[in-house]
Amino acid sequence: MARAAAAVRPFKGVVYALEGAEEFAKDMSDELGLQFDVADSAENLCGKSDVIYTQTPGGSTVLEKEWLNPNGVTIIASGSDQPTKNEIPADVLAASKYISDLTKQTSKVGELRSALLEGTMTEDDVHAELGEIVNGDKVGREGNEIIVVDLTGTGAQDAAIGQVAWDKLSQL
> Is 33 in contact with 13 (CB distance < 8 Å)?
no
Give me the domains of the chain, ranges plus CATH numbers. 1-38 (no CATH), 50-170 (3.40.50.720)
> Is 24 in contact with 49 (CB distance < 8 Å)?
no
Q: What is the pLDDT of residues 45-93, one digit of tens each?
A: 999 999 999 987 778 899 999 999 999 999 999 866 778 878 999 999 9
Longest dimension (CA), the chain: 52
- Supply the pTM of this predicted model: 0.85
Q: What is the pLDDT of residues 3-48, one digit of tens each?
A: 988 888 899 999 999 899 999 999 999 999 999 999 999 999 999 9
Q: What is the Cα–Cα distance from 67 to 46, expressed in whole angstroms?
A: 6
Instruction: Say whether 88 sits in a helix, a strand or coil.
Output: coil
